[in-house]
């Protein structure tokens, strides 16, 4: 199987869907002639032209709202946010319009829009550019949100997102764009709402999503050297949520660590924790613990930002503390 970057995988998904369905257009700041702020859309403008690949002014509320209006009339716009952090200026469109129109019309109108872009910290750019709003989005009934942790998932999930009849928001990661994974050449889709066990283990379950999965896998490899056998469940999709795969793992390992780049209060992991205690209470041998971002705006200073985010050392430490608790 060829290895391609996360960036290339997303581009392939866009290109394939643009070819498959002429109602698909790609829009955003710098996506066309400049080839994308992160080069995700590189070459698409040359291939598909200016009618399909469209540079927008810096007007997130305006152009995302426009995409929502166009999707009501049957188009399938894929909107790029240069950073999900910039979604905050378009929040009314992203939440009130995209998510509420179907409901308030009693089911008469669909909004098959995709909004995608990077949502991550760890790039030394300060608090305004480091937001991870998957928890905000998952909070809103009517919206779907996925956070692919690798190239294979990114491609399969984005293709499903574009074909979905509900609004789907895809949160990518700039730190993953340049990394490579095996991706088959033949076409495939990954359904939304299907978690993936990225590493099997018997001692403890880590539940994670996005780049935190990569961090967790690295920690798991280190722990394996000490004979600690960690299972890593990648949620992939936050809403819809495959809680069954999580519960199945918990019932096997009886110990849980949630690793989540969100800040702790009302994080994605808060919901997961609640559901695990509600549905698998009798299987737990220790309290559920979490590793999240440290609860402050994203710090600029590079070494400290690495400390603020979930990292391998913090994950390892948390796993050991849970296991110590159980054996004590």
DSSP class of residue 92? I
- Give me the least distance between CB of 142 and other proteins, in Å please: 5
CB closer to other proteins out of 2 and 74 = 74
| Contact map string, positions 96 to 135, toward other proteins, x by CB under 8 A | xx---xxxxxxxxxx-------------------------
| Total number of residues shown for the chain | 328
Pairing of strands 230-234, 196-199: antiparallel
CB closer to other proteins out of 190 and 319 = 190
Residue 102: count of CB within 10 angstroms of its CB: 18
For CA atoms 101, 103, 105, 109, give the dihedral sign: positive
Q: Which of 39, 180, 194, 251 binds other proteins (CB under 8 A)?
A: 194
Q: Which of 33, 128, 165, 321 binds other proteins (CB under 8 A)?
A: 165
Residue 197 engages other proteins in binding (rule: CB under 8 A):
no
179 token code pair:
């990394």
Residue with tokens 């937001």: 131
CB closer to other proteins out of 275 and 294 = 275
62 near 29, Cβ under 8 Å? no
What is the DSSP code string of 311-326?
A: -HHHHHHHHHHHHHHH
- Give me the least distance between CB of 97 and other proteins, in Å please: 6
Residue 243 engages other proteins in binding (rule: CB under 8 A):
yes
Residue 49 engages other proteins in binding (rule: CB under 8 A):
no
Tell me if residue 129 is catalytic: yes
Q: What are phi and psi of 233, to 5 degrees?
A: -100, 125
Residue span binding other proteins (CB under 8 A) among the ranges 128-136, 207-215, 238-246, 251-259: 238-246
DSSP class of residue 23? T
Pairing of strands 237-239, 144-146: antiparallel
CB closer to other proteins out of 60 and 203 = 60
Residues in contact with other proteins, total (CB under 8 A)?
Answer: 56
Interatomic CA distance for residues 188 and 196, integer angstroms: 16
Catalytic hit among 129, 172, 305, 316 = 129
- Give me the least distance between CB of 123 and other proteins, in Å please: 27
DSSP class of residue 47? H
Residues of this chain, 53-92, that bind other proteins according to CB under 8 A: 56-57, 59, 61-75, 92
Helix (H, G, I), strand (E, B) or coil at 199: strand
Residue 270 engages other proteins in binding (rule: CB under 8 A):
no
Helix (H, G, I), strand (E, B) or coil at 261: coil
DSSP class of residue 239? E
17 token code pair:
């869907």
Residue span binding other proteins (CB under 8 A) among the ranges 193-201, 219-227, 260-268, 311-319: 193-201
Residue 144 engages other proteins in binding (rule: CB under 8 A):
yes
- Give me the least distance between CB of 314 and other proteins, in Å please: 28
Tell me which residue of 270, 237, 271, 232 sits closest to 252, measured CA to CA.
232
- Give me the least distance between CB of 16 and other proteins, in Å please: 17
CB closer to other proteins out of 76 and 131 = 76
Interatomic CA distance for residues 294 and 264, integer angstroms: 8
Active site residues: 60, 129
Residues in contact with other proteins by CB under 8 A are 25, 51, 56-57, 59, 61-75, 92-93, 96-97, 101-110, 141-142, 144, 160, 163-166, 191-195, 237, 239-244, 271, 275
């Amino acid at each position: 199987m060829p290895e391609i970057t996360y960036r290339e995988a997303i581009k392939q998904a866009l290109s394939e869907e643009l070819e498959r369905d002429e109602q698909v257009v790609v829009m955003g700041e710098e996506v066309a002639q400049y080839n994308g702020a992160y080069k995700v859309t590189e070459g698409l403008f040359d291939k598909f032209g200016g009618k399909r690949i469209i540079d927008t002014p810096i007007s997130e509320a305006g152009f995302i709202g426009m995409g929502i209006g166009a999707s009501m009339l049957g188009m399938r716009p894929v909107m790029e946010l240069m950073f999900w952090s910039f979604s905050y200026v378009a929040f009314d469109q992203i939440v009130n319009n995209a998510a509420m129109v179907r409901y308030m019309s009693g089911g008469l109108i669909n909004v098959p829009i995709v909004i995608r872009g990077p949502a991550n910290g760890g790039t030394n750019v300060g608090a305004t550019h480091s937001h991870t709003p998957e928890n905000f989005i998952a909070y809103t009934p009517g919206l779907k949100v996925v956070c692919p942790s690798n190239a294979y998932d990114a491609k399969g999930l984005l293709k499903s997102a574009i074909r979905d009849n509900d609004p789907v928001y895809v949160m990518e990661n700039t730190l993953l764009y340049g990394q490579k994974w095996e991706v088959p050449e033949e076409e495939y889709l990954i359904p939304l709402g299907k978690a993936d066990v990225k590493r099997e283990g018997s001692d403890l379950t880590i539940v994670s999503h996005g780049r935190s999965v990569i961090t967790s896998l690295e920690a798991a490899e280190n722990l394996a050297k000490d004979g600690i056998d960690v299972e890593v469940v990648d949620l992939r999709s936050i809403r819809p949520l495959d809680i069954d795969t999580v519960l199945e793992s918990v019932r096997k390992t009886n110990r849980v660590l949630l690793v989540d780049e969100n800040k702790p209060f009302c994080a994605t992991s808060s919901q997961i924790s609640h559901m695990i205690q509600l549905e698998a209470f009798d299987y737990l041998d220790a309290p559920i613990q979490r590793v999240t971002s440290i609860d402050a705006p994203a710090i600029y200073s590079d070494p400290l930002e690495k400390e603020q985010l979930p990292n391998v050392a913090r994950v390892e430490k948390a796993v050991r503390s849970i296991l110590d608790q159980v054996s004590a």
